[in-house]
Amino acid sequence: MKKVLLVLTLLTTISMSCRKNNNNNADTFPAETQEGKNTLGCYIDGIAFMSGTTLFGQVRPVNVSYYRDSTTYYKAGFLSIGGIDARYSLDIAGDIVINKLQVFGVGEYYLMHVANCGSNYGCDGIGYHNAKTSKTYFAESGKLTIIKLDIINKIVSGRFNFLAKDTAGNRIQITNGRFDAKYLN
């Protein structure tokens, strides 16, 4: 009887531990926050894309930079948002980049990739690169909504969505995008 009770206790403990871990799963879509939590998530054709730990924690999965004033390399109001989903078991593994000029506060900004710009940071560059297929999709149209731009605490938060296509004309839809990060400059 003691052995049965011990086995039941172990199974119950293991079961409860698994449940607890599932509630704190790293594969949970990020909540919409405005606290600088360094999160980014969206849906790519309905599949959840979530930035998470990459390369044994050596690569930052969310990178945001903001330059309110012009510098040698960046024009005034340059905002760069990047996120990596390194869950390579999924077909959407890859990275999203939004480089947007003339962001000076909260509000809505139109998204469209500008090809053949001539300068890395001289025009808008928006896209998604699929790591499995090695295809890059560039934004045709979309919207970036800045909800918070705190230049004192260096926090930027917002939402995004865009329609993108690759060079062969294949289209994808990025929807319900959200990010919340402390930015660098």
pLDDT tens-digit map of 83-121: 999 888 889 999 999 999 999 999 999 999 988 876 667
Please report the pLDDT score of residue 55 as a whole number. Answer: 60
More confident residue, 89 or 179: 179
Give yes or no for residue 10 having a pLDDT over 80: no
Dihedral of the CA atoms 6, 21, 93, 147 (nearest 10)?
A: 170
More confident residue, 17 or 173: 173
pLDDT tens-digit map of 110-161: 999 988 876 667 789 999 999 999 999 999 999 999 999 999 999 999 999 9
Q: Residue 2 region, left (φ>0) first, then alpha (ψ -120 to 50), else beta?
A: alpha
More confident residue, 97 or 14: 97
Is pTM beyond 0.85 here?
no
pLDDT tens-digit map of 18-68: 333 333 345 688 999 999 999 999 999 999 999 986 666 667 789 999 999
Cβ(131)–Cβ(150) below 8 Å:
no
More confident residue, 72 or 39: 39
Please report the pLDDT score of residue 123 as a whole number. Answer: 84
Q: Can you give the residue ranges of every domain in the chain?
A: 27-182
Q: How confident is the model at residue 16 (pLDDT cuts 50, 70, 90)?
A: very low
Cβ(103)–Cβ(146) below 8 Å:
yes
Helix residue spans in the chain (DSSP H): 2-23
Please report the pLDDT score of residue 58 as a whole number. Answer: 64
Which residue is listed with tokens 């980014």? 40
